[in-house]
């Protein structure tokens, strides 16, 4: 096992830097080969590191006072945040000192800086944000979660390629099943972008394409990869998170509803805790910025050390699994398939 070095934005996230350091310590327990470059306020980080001797040994700290604020506009952060903990962590990947970056800070700023400093992979027009989601059958990949508000057919096809590689790398699936999110399963449903991407993926392509899927197919686990534009993906994933929270709270309220329900909870506690653990959002923390010429993982800002450790785990899996060369390789296969297929352009169906 070779060493893997990750650059961590120690100042990003609601409970940073404590959450970041404790998370790195948990990740180190699972991946003893990991090494960390930490970027942030030495006065706050050094005392924490002193209490985590195992982490301290695996870590190099680089001080900076500057931080990207949570409500900073991406364009402003890009122009003025060159000495921020987030940017310095990204730069460490750009100049080869680190194999990937993990931050729980401002998503828009992280994307803008990562795009600028790391560049996109050859053949990729726009990066996308991907995450894992619990389903009835296990876990699925969903992308894009908000990097691209408007997408054309070609963007969606590229997302399909990237999502396929993500599922092979992180879920270990030999040939993931890929679906395009739409309002119905028939070929003529949807807007031009979705219909065009569907026509292209149904043609000669290295992707194992299922066809169109609908909203309820996400939780059902009908496919391994759900491809959609960033507007729909962002709204849908947040809507699902909101409903999951409502269910959890309603269930808790139910068990407080009567003495009998409280007694019931005592007996059912073990089984309910197993369920809660499987659906725990911290388990699915760590959204990958796919399509960049470098590994960049975004953690939820509100997560804790356990969740942050999982985001670090995603970055390690992506590096070990060779996600970047695999995306380049699969794009080449997609383009080769297209040149063998004279009718491979966008097909815009009319209703």
Per the CB < 8 A criterion, the answer to whether 255 and 261 are in contact is yes
Q: What angle (nearest 5°) sits at the alpha carbon of residue 309, between those of residues 240 and 90?
A: 95
> Strand pairing partners for 48?
none
Closest approach of its own copies to the CB of residue 80, in Å: 17
Q: Which of 278, 340, 342, 350 binds its own copies (CB under 8 A)?
A: 278
Count residues contacting its own copies (CB under 8 A)? 61
Is-contact 126 147, C-beta < 8 A? Answer: yes
- Does position 52 bind its own copies by CB under 8 A? no
What character string, x for contact with its own copies (CB under 8 A) and - otherwise, covers 246-265? xx-xxx-xxx-xx-xx-xxx
- Residue 242 phi, psi (nearest 5): -65, -40
Stretch 63-82: interaction string toward its own copies, x if CB under 8 A = ------------x-------
135 binds its own copies (CB under 8 A): yes
According to CB under 8 A, which residues from 202 to 231 bind its own copies? Answer: 214-220, 228, 230-231
Least Å from the CB of residue 150 to its own copies: 6
- For residues 159 to 198, the per-residue mask of contacts with its own copies, x marking binding by CB under 8 A and - elsewhere, is ----------------------xxx------xx-------
The number of beta carbons lying within 10 Å of the beta carbon of residue 137 is 12
* b/e code 13-40 from CB counts within 10 Å (16+ = b): bebbbebbbbbbbbbbeebeebbbbbbb
- Name, in order, each residue with C-beta under 8 angstroms of 101's C-beta and a sequence gap of 6 or more: 6, 7, 8, 9, 89, 90, 92, 93, 114, 294, 295, 296, 297, 315
- For residue 240, state whether it binds its own copies (rule: CB under 8 A): yes
Query: Least distance from C-beta 301 to its own copies, angstroms?
Result: 13
Please choose, from the candidates 172, 110, 104, the residue with its C-alpha nearest in 3D space to the C-alpha of residue 138. Answer: 172
Q: Which stretch binds its own copies (CB under 8 A): 16-24, 55-63, 196-204, 271-279?
A: 271-279
The sign one gets for the Cα dihedral 272, 274, 276, 278 is negative
Shortest distance, position 138 Cβ to its own copies, whole Å: 12
Binding site for its own copies (CB under 8 A): 75, 135-136, 146, 149-150, 181-183, 190-191, 214-220, 228, 230-232, 234-247, 249-251, 253-255, 257-258, 260-261, 263-272, 274-275, 278-279, 351
């Amino acid at each position: 096992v070779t060493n893997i070095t990750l650059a961590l934005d120690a100042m990003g996230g609601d409970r940073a830097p404590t959450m970041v350091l404790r998370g790195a310590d948990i990740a180190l327990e699972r991946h003893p080969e990991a090494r960390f470059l930490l970027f942030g306020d030495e006065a706050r980080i050094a005392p924490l590191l002193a209490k985590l001797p195992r982490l301290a040994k695996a870590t190099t700290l680089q001080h900076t006072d500057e931080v990207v604020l949570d409500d900073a506009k991406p364009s402003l952060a890009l122009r003025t945040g060159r000495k921020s903990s987030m940017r310095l962590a990204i730069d460490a990947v750009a100049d080869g000192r680190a194999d990937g970056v993990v931050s729980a800070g401002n998503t828009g700023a992280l994307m803008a800086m990562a795009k600028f400093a790391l560049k996109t992979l050859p053949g990729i027009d726009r990066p996308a944000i991907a995450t894992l989601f619990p389903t009835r059958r296990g876990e699925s990949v969903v992308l894009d979660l908000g990097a691209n508000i408007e997408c054309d057919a070609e963007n969606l096809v590229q997302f399909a390629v990237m999502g396929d590689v993500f599922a092979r790398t992180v879920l270990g699936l030999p040939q993931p099943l890929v679906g395009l999110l739409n309002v119905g399963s028939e070929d003529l449903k949807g807007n031009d972008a979705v219909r065009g991407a569907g026509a292209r993926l149904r043609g000669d392509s290295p992707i194992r394409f299922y066809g169109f899927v609908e909203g309820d197919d996400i939780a059902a686990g009908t496919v391994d990869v759900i491809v959609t534009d960033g507007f729909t993906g962002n709204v849908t994933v947040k809507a699902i998170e909101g409903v999951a929270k409502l269910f959890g709270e309603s269930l808790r309220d139910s068990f407080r509803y009567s003495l009998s329900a409280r007694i019931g909870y005592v007996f059912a506690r073990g089984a309910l805790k197993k369920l809660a653990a499987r659906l725990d959002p911290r388990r699915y923390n760590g959204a990958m910025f796919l399509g960049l010429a470098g590994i960049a993982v975004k953690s939820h800002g509100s997560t804790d050390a356990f969740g942050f450790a999982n985001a670090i785990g995603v970055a390690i899996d992506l590096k070990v699994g060779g996600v970047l060369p695999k995306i380049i390789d699969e794009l080449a296969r997609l383009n080769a398939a297209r040149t063998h297929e004279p009718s491979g352009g966008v097909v815009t169906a009319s209703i």
